[in-house]
Amino acid sequence: GGPAPSVPIPASTLNVRSTPSTRGNTPLGRFPQGTLLQVLRGPAQANGLTWLEVSGGGVSKGYVAASFTQSALCSGGGANPAPPTTGGGGTPPAAPPVAGGANRTDHPPGL
């Protein structure tokens, strides 16, 4: 039970597709930055990417590449919580580097 988890779109735009693939699959549309999507299923691996089945932003069901969302559901799927602060007004520690460019917001619009 419970409500479906949701994921925000941090990138400038994110393509939504009818199937979990970029091969021969024209996007149904694009979600703008800040769109909040409900996760229906996933994560699932297909064609070398991790995909989430989502709804929202005017789409009843579609697939997005999880690496372009801020999903904590996916291992390496783009979830990057804020680094902890030291408390007491100190300087927060430097954020560790992100493997695979999970924080990219300049991705090509092909996905």
Q: What is the pLDDT of residues 43-98, one digit of tens each?
A: 999 989 999 999 998 899 999 999 888 875 654 433 333 333 344 444 444 444 43
Question: How far is it, in rounded angstroms, from Cα 60 to Cα 92?
Answer: 41
For residue 34, the SS3 value is: coil
Q: Please give the Cα distance from 72 to 102 (Å, whole number).
A: 12
Where is pLDDT greater, at 85 or 21? 21
Q: Which of 2, 13, 20 is nearest to 61 (CA)?
A: 20
CA pair distance 62, 30, nearest whole angstrom: 11
User: Per residue in 96-111, pLDDT tens?
Assistant: 443 333 333 344 444 5
pLDDT at position 42 over 80? yes
- In whole angstroms, give the CA distance from residue 13 to residue 105: 9
- Return the pLDDT at 20: 94
How would DSSP label each residue in 74-107? Answer: STTSB--PPPPP-STT-PPPPPPPPGGGTT-S--
